[in-house]
Amino acid sequence: MLMTGTSAHLAGVGTIPEFHSGAYQIPELKDQPAYLGYLSNKVVTLPELLRDAGYYNVMAGKWHLGSTKEHSPKARGFEKSFTLLVGGANHHGWEPELAPEDIKFKPMLRGGTTGLYLDEDEWISELPKDYYSSDYFTDRLITYLKDREDDDKRPFFAYLPFQAPHFPLQAPKDYIEKYDGVYDDGPERVREQRIESLKTLGFISSDAKPAAFSEYPHRMSNRNWEHRDDMSRKRSARKMAVFAGMVERMDWNIGKVMDHLEATGQRENTIVFFLSDNGAEGTQLEAAPANRNVIPVLAKHFDNSLENLGAPNSFCWYGNRWAQVGTAPSKLYKFFTHQGGIRVCSLVNYPKWSKRNGNVSHEYSTIMDIMPTILDLAGVQHPGSEYKGKTVETMLGKSWTSYMTGKQDSVHDSETITGWEFLGRQALRKGSWKIVKLPQPWGTGEWEMFDLSTDLAEDINLREKFPEKFDEMLGEWREYAKKHGIVDVKSVEQASGPRNDIYVSMSYLTLRLGLLESKGTLLLVNTSCLVFRVSLSIKGHNFNEINHINFMESYSVCF
């Protein structure tokens, strides 16, 4: 959606590569154009169009839009790149020596079965000894930018998709210690505090009713704080502290990039977009039956003692109750098409958009709007339905420029249709109306309808109260699903036995985190320059100039 300006399904990434191999493959999706697991040749990418317009395109970080050289960043328009191709890996590049009987767990523990990293188009088998994902990706990107300044005056487009804070949760020790004790009150109390802060800051209305905690099936350790023993609470709080440390270190690295732009005189003509691509990660591997066998393997090969959590040789995650702290006040989290999985915040920083500087906006936008916005600012035209002699998808997104310059009061009108689907979890929005279907065992398997203008929590099902509106919305969904090639995988979701449990456990393989707590991506385009940041924190001193910041509500792919 980000790289193409169109839906994930039309771009071929209605699923991820991991669901096309081994025990995790889903036969129903095999050979389906909307579920290739990599960017289709039927879309033209943002870096391809900018390259054609004379841009110097670079990236460093996580790709996860294709795991082979044929589908790598270099193949899709980037001139220079260092990339983690898969969904996640150890942030220090550390791998244990597995016992022969445990080799079968290697893909899960390392992030994939094939090569993980590409430097340009060369496979990398060994990382630097001091490697830490956020630091290394940032340093490589800055090196690329410096290379341009030495011998190349082309405008640039740079993309920095951080791996952090995807689990395994790992951060520098001093960053973890900064948050020692901060989360000792547990997720319920911290969530209450955050909701109150959101109200005070004006991000949600003072009378907004937040979604209740969702109790996820199979997640047996999903217990209220007061029902946990002392060690369980200490370990949980420590994991959240590691997460916070990861986020702050990522933010510090983004500050390095911003400082570089400042030092080289490029800050004032740099546009900054900062947003997340999905809601917070709720994975809890030990709670799914299919993954119980991996827990002894983790205990054997990793040191997950309390004091070592967050170290290179640890392997941990923080679970769905902390995830619902990150997505508050919305319902659920990553991998779901409820608001907690797809509703995120974004920051926009560009002095020339002075009309809305310093404003908080709740205007509806989607991640598909980023590409048309960038092309608009760069003066580059999308080719429409044909690119270099082949048929391609047109963009579904819309440029923000008219809204940001005050020429329009909204980005999208009330007739705009946006749809989502992942593993049978379906949703469609039109104006403030939204229909959602959550298959069993997570939901009833029946469509529900909500009015998001009055019900952020998706708590009041209006399907029976407004049957005509529901029929209209369901008709829109059927048309959308047909056009976008969506496959109904209800039978897969409701299958009994271990196969279904694998799907419960597989969310660890996917993308980023959410509302005010997110995995990060930094993207820079120079028309000037543009910076796009998918991340969480605004602590860095580079963002203290609040008069140049706009807040917007945006929506993204759900995985």
Question: Do 359 and 202 meet the contact criterion of CB atoms below 8 Å apart?
Answer: no
DSSP string, 141-209: HHHHHHHHHHH--S-EEEEEE--TTSSSP---HHHHHTTTTTTTTHHHHHHHHHHHHHHHHTSS-TTPP
Mean pLDDT confidence for 301-328: 95
Mean pLDDT (the chain, rounded) = 84
Res 349: pLDDT = 81
The tokens describing 387, both together, are 């690119």
Place of tokens 């081994």: 22
| Per-residue CA distances from 135 to 59, 131, 258, 259, 300 (Å) | 14, 8, 14, 15, 29
Is 18 a member of any domain? Answer: no
User: 């456990």: which residue's tokens?
Assistant: 505
In a domain, 238, yes or no: yes
* CATH number for 156: 3.40.720.10
Three-state SS across 520-546? CEEEEEECCEEEEEECCCCCCHHHCCH
The SS3 call for residue 507 is helix
Q: Which amino acid is at 12?
A: G
- Number of domains, the chain: 1
Answer yes or no: is 12 within a domain.
no
Instruction: Give domain status of residue 26, yes or no.
Output: no
**pLDDT tier at 21 (50, 70, 90 boundaries)?**
low
Q: Is 20 among the domain residues? A: no
| pLDDT of 1 strictly over 60 | yes
* Tokens linked to 527: 């028309």
Ramachandran class of 208: left when φ > 0, alpha when ψ lies in -120 to 50, beta otherwise: beta
Q: Name the range with the highest mean pLDDT among 218-227, 342-351, 413-422, 513-522.
A: 413-422
**Closest of 391, 428, 374, 394 to residue 158, by C-alpha:** 374
Q: How much of the chain exceeds pLDDT 70, in percent?
A: 82
Domain of 343 in residue numbering reads as 49-555
CA distance 346 to 408: 19
In the predicted structure, residue 61 carries a pLDDT above the cut 50: yes
Q: What are phi and psi of 184, to 5 degrees?
A: -65, -20
Residue 447, SS3 per DSSP: strand
- Kindly report which listed range (150-154, 210-214, 381-385, 393-397) carries the lowest average pLDDT score: 150-154
Assigned domain for 6 exists: no
Q: For the chain, what's the residue count?
A: 559
Whether the bond between 528 and the residue before it is cis, its omega within 30 degrees of 0, is yes
pLDDT-wise least confident of 20-29, 179-188, 546-555: 546-555
> Is 111 inside a domain boundary?
yes
C-alpha closest to that of 60 among 244, 302, 336, 257: 257
> 358-382 pLDDT, tens per residue?
888 889 999 999 999 999 999 999 9
Mean pLDDT of 116-128: 93
Sign of CA dihedral 70, 72, 76, 79: negative
Which pair of structure tokens corresponds to residue 468?
């005509």
Q: Do the Cβ atoms of 517 and 278 come closer than 8 Å?
A: no
Q: Is residue 29 part of a domain?
A: no
